[in-house]
Structure 1
Amino acid sequence: MSTGVIIALIVIVIVIVAVMVVAAVRILRARGGSHGGRGLKHRFGPEYDRAVARHDGDVGAAERELDALVQRHGGLRERPLEPAERERFQARWRAAQEKFVDSPREAVADADHLLAEVAGARGFPDGGEHEEQLAALSVHHANHVHGYRRVHGAAHAAGTGDGRAPGTEDMRTAMVEARALFDDLVGSAPQQPQHQVQAKAQTKDSSRFGRHLPWNFPRHQAKES
């Protein structure tokens, strides 16, 4: 067999392999839309539904947004807290809860600042970049990040004085939901990625906080501030 024939056969084989690779890539991309969507929904849980709602039901736009978040923050590695750090954060949260009875607005503001600080200590973007911090948290703590969103909104609305300030019960609910994220962030051991622990409840029942007096007090006892 001549050298020219051998070269021709090699070229033909290379072309065939290239065509097969291109075809395989196209098939994977076509299938990736559905698998990617299911993967994003599994990873983001309630945040997936909120993203779809933000985009007025446009699932494709919502998934592109969430995929971009994973690309930007998926590689973030959470830094475990030292025991002393954890104890200090937990003590400050208890103090905020106790303050809620007499000063709910101050308590909500304290909780908002504390969550930003804890997230920063775990390696998330600095609290001064709230939206970026929230975005990163949504990738790794999707089930509970909405509690942070609520308490942050309540803290900032409470000081506007424009008639849109939340009521005591709204602030209490925000605190309870935010506590779920706080518990995730200060856990005694590094947390699994949130998309791997979807069995956790989206919002922990407020009875969990029975050991903290402010969450047992009759609702009418909390003072509007």
Structure 2
Amino acid sequence: MSTGVIIALIVIVAVVLVVAAVLALRARGPQHGGSLKRRFGPEYDLAVARHDGDTKAAERELTERVRRHGSLHVRPLEPAERERFEARWTAAQERFVDSPREAVGEADRLIAELAGARGFPDGGQYEEQLTALSVHHAHHVEGYRRVHRVTHTRVDVARDGGADTEEMRESMVEARALFEALMRPSRHEGGDRQRTGTEAERSAPAARASHTLSFGKRRPKES
């Protein structure tokens, strides 16, 4: 075999290897982004919007969230804790009829405490807690964001183009979805142990939705 043929073969092999490497990198990029989009759902779109449409920057942010909080160990709730949280949420929901802003404020505090009890960052670190929750409950974390925003909106601003009663009701409905997700046993506990948080959230029963959508409406008095 002549030297020229050997050189030509080496060049062809090198070109093939380079092309294969480029194709592999291209295939890996969209797959990574697609995985993040599936995991974060609406949070992925919010991150992209926050970065003015820069998908790569948004994906770097979300990847960092997973790195920091993806291995978080969820602590199980004691039966007495579970009962107290459920009773407090029921009371807040009932209070909404007469004092919607107070009810929303209680929902905000309650989710912060419940998340802390389950092993997420303390509620005093709202942004850090929200970030950690977005990794494990991406499809419901917006409810917490909404009740927190309403709670920390000044009352005079709320009267002048701020949150109205219907908006507060909607925020409570969304927040309840996160509350129930946090109350649900993890994979390491009984009950729902075979489903991840995201899977369980997506399969939430329609009965719950009809219940939460009707809360806050005053029941007619019995005759």
Find out whether 1:99 has 2:102 as its counterpart.
no
Distance 2:164 2:207 in 1: 21
Note the C-alpha offset of 1:56. Answer: 1.8
Q: What is residue 217 of structure 1 aligned with on the other side?
A: 218
Q: Secondary structure at the match of 1:215?
A: coil
Which position in structure 2 is the counterpart of 1:50? 46
The structure-2 alpha-carbon separation of the partners of 1:96 and 1:46, relative to structure 1 and needing over 3 Å to count, comes to: same
Which string of whole-angstrom CA distances, capped at 9 and with x for unpartnered residues, describes residues 99-144 of structure 1? 1111111111000000000000000000000000000000000000
Structure 2 counterpart of 1:208? 211
In structure 2, the gaps of 5 or more residues are 1-16
How many percent of aligned residue pairs carry the same amino acid? 56
TM (norm. structure 1) is: 0.76
Asked whether the 8 Å contact 1:46–1:142 carries over to 2, the reply is yes
Q: CA deviation at 1:188?
A: 4.3
Determine if the alignment matches structure 1 residue 173 to structure 2 residue 170: yes
- CA shift, 1:214, in A, is 3.9
Instruction: Name the CA distance, whole Å, in 2 between partners of 1:198 and 1:214.
Output: 20
What does residue 56 of structure 2 align with?
Answer: 60
Gaps of 5+ in 1: 1-19, 219-225
Instruction: Give the match for residue 32 of structure 1.
Output: 28
SS of aligned partner of 2:156? coil
Alpha-carbon contact 1:141-1:193 (below 8 Å) kept: no
Answer 1 or 2: higher relative contact order, Cα 8 Å, separation at least 6.
1
TM-score by length of 2: 0.77
**Aligned residue for 1:108?**
104
1:186 paired residue among 183, 196, 212: 183
Counterpart of 1:177 in structure 2: which amino acid? E
Q: Which amino acid in structure 1 is aligned with residue 62 of structure 2?
A: L
Deviations 1:69-89 (A, max 9, x none): 111111101111111111100
The 8 Å contact of residues 43 and 194 in structure 1, kept in 2 or not, is answered as no
Q: Residue 124 of structure 1 corresponds to which residue in structure 2?
A: 120
C-alpha deviation, 1:197, in angstroms: 4.8
Q: Distance in 1 between matches of 2:125 and 2:75?
A: 19
Paired residue for 1:161, among 156, 161, 170? 156
Task: Give distance in 2, aligned partners of 1:77 and 1:184.
Answer: 15
Q: Is the 8 A contact 1:143 1:194 kept in 2?
A: no
Partner of 1:9: none
Corresponding letter in the other structure for 1:207: S
Alignment: residue pair count: 194
The superposition leaves residues 32-72 of structure 1 with CA deviations (integer Å, 9 ceiling, x where unpaired) of: 21110010011001111111111222111111111111111
1:161 match: secondary structure: helix
Report how far residue 195 of structure 1 moved.
Answer: 4.3
Q: CA deviation at 1:215?
A: 3.3
Counterpart contact for 1:177–1:204, Cα < 8 Å = no
